Structure 1
Amino acid sequence: MTGWTADRIPDQHGRIAVVTGANSGLGLITATELARHGAHVVLAVRNTAAGEEAARRIAGDVEVRELDLASLDSVRAFAAKLAADHPVIDLLVNNAGVVLLGPRRTSADGFELQLGTNMLGHFALTGLLLGKLAAARRSRVVSLSSITHKNARLDFDDLMFERDYRAAPAYGRSKLATTIFGVELDRRLHAAGSSIVSTLAHPGLTRTNLTPRAWEQRGRFGQMIARLGLLVTQSVEQGALPQLRAATEPGVRGGQFFGPSRLWETRGPVTEARLSREAADPAVGKRLWAAAEELTGVSYL
């Protein structure tokens, strides 16, 4: 398999990078490669013991900090401590996420857990760190989308999926919301004349631990599905390349979206990916932004 590889990442010395969910899967590979190329990487993780174990496996300059994106109190505490310790932040990779296949669950703030973690937690985190990102030269924010966003639809009358809850559509909705956030952030940064670049990426179908773990919780049938998934997914190293390219390639423009190029964007070399019509709609972006500000209490741009 040819195309863009992590060896093309330019020197990252002198840069401060924050990667959420960096103790495993895509986040661990992303943090590892950024550190390998010289960045100081903050591993923002819910489980600090797992984060410390990941840090021992990374050859480079890293630190571990606790962040639970399902709790706005945790997001605020993390952002305040990070801002106090680092005068600038050059890169924020909003990588962390949850996948549910069981009953509806809620975050500490009462949000549907997938939307609350995957989008609203990152919305709040980005807003709270925006000043530190603005203090850096040509900083970037990378939002992690999914091919599931293409078939999802937002229901602004029931954003939290309180009616007729189904886990898989709720996950797709959370990733559509994340995608809309990344695109709308680019619009607002551009309108404000900011040098911050908002980019997006998705990993196609990748062998992370999120979906297999969710399936395995559903007994023998779920375990069989998890094993079958190994046959149709690409490696986590390959799956991390779109977000690494979005984070590091010189000349990346705000709003660019990267993903795999083959088999309906499920696998293969990295290329520019396609947004769904709803994800690209400015009216939807404006409406979701207003809802996110009201829900999180974080306002910016």
Structure 2
Amino acid sequence: MTSIQEATTQDLYPTRTVDHTEVFDRKDPVVYGSAEDGPMDTELLKLFDDKGYLVIDQVITQDELAELRAELERLATNTEVKADERTVVEPKSKEVRSIFEVHRTNEIIKKIANDPRLVRRAEQILGTQVYIHQSRINYKPGFAGKEFSWHSDFESWHAEDGMPRPRALSISILLTDNFSFNGPLMIMPGSHKRYISVPGVTPENNYQQSLVMQGAGTPSEETLTEFADSYGIDVLEGKAGDAIMFDSNCMHASNSNVTPFARSNVFLVYNSVENSAVEPYAAPKRRPEFIASTDFTPAGT
């Protein structure tokens, strides 16, 4: 299916094209819909607009959670899955870190990814039908799960996938309890209203390194310190079965997991069909299909 959006040479969010960091205001809305357009009320929409994220209590049932957990374990121990290019392993422990494109390859996750409980919320915020730009299972096993540096997803998706504007969001379904100490998601609330244009260039086949450890696109320590001073840092704890929904331009990261308690989730990226990907803005070529989908078929249809 081809994009309904005409490709444009205008780049409203330049990055990796200059030799110094630039920070400027976001040029697009965060919330496009209203309380009449979906399951969330005005208060929740305002909270998302202000902070850039929401925690949704028990978005899936306990039976669904048990099914997903069993699938999580099965995939992590499957030798064929582990050898697949869509699977990323930890550099030292060789344990599975992420498995991509699971909304296509796995029927259980495909069903959840297209469920109205998720899709309708994404449509309400983004104001249109949405498609799945990316999906993955994230594993952060006890003692072995490594950190992920501060970054904006949109900066990477814009530079390397050709996503024109930050009219996208992620929904992370927690499959294990997220404690403050087992490497949960950390977000700088409100940071989604500012865009960081970082210096440098995108290396050839950068995804092979960035999926293990963020490199290109990581803001400087000075810029991150300024952001942390301005916005603070929220540590997003939650119970298994909850979901965290956050804007594509949120500055976020996670620490390594040195505890015995695993931290795993199903991660789904929904993008507006009016914001479908064009050619990359700051990379030699687009990333593989399993990382950045070019099938813009609306989710849930």
Larger proportion of strand: 2
Q: TM-score, normalised by structure 1?
A: 0.28
Larger proportion of helix: 1
Q: TM-score, normalised by structure 2?
A: 0.28
Q: Which has the higher relative contact order, 1 or 2, with Cα contacts under 8 A spaced 6 or more apart?
A: 2
